[in-house]
Amino acid sequence: MPPKRKKDKVPKGRYDSSQSSVNVPLQIKEDIKRLQDKRCWLCNHRAHKILRPLQIYHIFPKAIRKRYRFVMHHKLGQIQLHNIHDRGNLIALCSICHFAYQYDQWTFFPEDTTNWRQRVEATPQIIPEYNSQRNIVFRRLLLCPDPDSKAFQDNHYKSAFTDNPTKIWSGEPGVVVLRPIPLNPPSTTAELKKTLHDFRVLQSLWVEYESQCSEEKCPICQSNNEGEDGKEDEEGDKDFGRSRKRRKGISKRQPGSTGQ
Ligand SMILES: [Zn+2]
Ligand SMILES: [Zn+2]
């Protein structure tokens, strides 16, 4: 009998059940899986119902407190999506890569992060233009490899970073930029350090950007917070109102963080 495989352990205090894709409309889930040819975006492994189920993951976290941030980022013009379940915030990953992404073992950035950083530094007004782009090339990076994890023992996962470090993703760039990343990944090479530095500068420029949503009849900015998630949105708006007052403080905080 083959030895039993060790199950990946969820780090204490990190499990967040509200991150599940249970509220994503079925049609959107199906569309994303079809768009990715029913393969994992990272390791390219074909979905297997039992061994390697394909799961839909929110790039910008769905946890309720973070969702308030989502509304705030929208109202400040830092993202254009209307809903946390929009296609532009979703990716299909196999269960192995999903787990590793959720626990910051890998991440992805725009391929030319350094160039983005320079351009946003010179002209912050370019942010909406970046956000309206789709199908741009991203670079996948191994952040905190865990030798005991299922992912680290999987060749499909490991080879993604060496054999196919870049890949097109169809979502909105802003949600990738605003997603928090770990401060000091333990296995940082000089190259990774430089990319992370540029990425962090890009993040801080992004959260300092502020403009009015330009969309007429925008469901987030113009609504009375009704609809499917009305209650949450109403709470979100209160949070947003408070947040604006301490806006200066926000820009120093990790984007997307709850400050808790
Ligand atoms: Zn995978
Ligand atoms: Zn709006």
Q: What is the pLDDT of residues 145-168, one digit of tens each?
A: 888 999 999 999 999 999 999 999
| Chain segment 132-144, per-residue pLDDT in tens | 999 999 999 998 8
Residue 147 token pair: 């030798």
CA of 106 to the centre of ligand 2 (A): 31
At residue 184, the pLDDT reads: 76
Which ligand does the CA of 43 lie closest to?
A: 1
Which ligand does the CA of 222 lie closest to?
A: 2
| Chain segment 208-233, per-residue pLDDT in tens | 999 988 788 898 888 654 434 444 43
DSSP string covering 62-95, please? -SHHHHHHHHHHHHTTS---SSTTSGGGEEEEEH
Each residue's pLDDT, cut to its tens digit, for the chain (260 residues) gives 555 555 565 554 444 444 567 789 999 999 999 999 999 999 999 999 999 999 999 998 877 777 888 999 999 999 999 889 999 999 999 999 999 999 999 999 999 999 999 999 999 999 999 999 999 999 999 988 888 999 999 999 999 999 999 999 999 999 999 998 887 777 678 888 888 999 999 999 999 999 988 788 898 888 654 434 444 433 333 333 333 444 444 444 455 543 33
Using the structure block, give the residue that is written with the tokens 């949105």.
Answer: 233
13: amino acid identity, one letter: G
Which ligand does the CA of 46 lie closest to?
A: 1
Q: How far is CA 164 from CA 32, 43, 159, 177, 213, in A?
A: 20, 9, 7, 21, 37
Comparing CA positions, the residue from 120, 175, 182, 178 lying closest to residue 146 is 182
Long-range contacts, 184-191 (Cβ 8 Å, 24+): 185/104, 185/143, 185/144, 186/144, 187/142, 187/143, 187/144, 187/145
CA of 223 to the centre of ligand 2 (A): 9
Comparing CA positions, the residue from 134, 200, 189 lying closest to residue 162 is 189
Strand 90-94 and strand 54-58: pairing? Answer: antiparallel
Strand partners, 20: none
Q: Where in the chain are the domains? A: 17-252
At residue 188, the pLDDT reads: 74
Which ligand does the CA of 98 lie closest to?
A: 1
Residue 4 token pair: 């039993």
Which ligand does the CA of 159 lie closest to?
A: 1
Q: Determine the 3-state secondary structure of 217 from DSSP.
A: coil
CA of 99 to the centre of ligand 1 (A): 9
Q: What CA dihedral angle connects 74, 76, 79 and 80, to 10 degrees?
A: 60
Strand partners, 54: 94
Helix (H) or strand (E) holding 110: strand 106-110
Report d(CA 230, CA 80) in Å as an integer.
19
At residue 2, the pLDDT reads: 52
CA of 142 to the centre of ligand 1 (A): 13
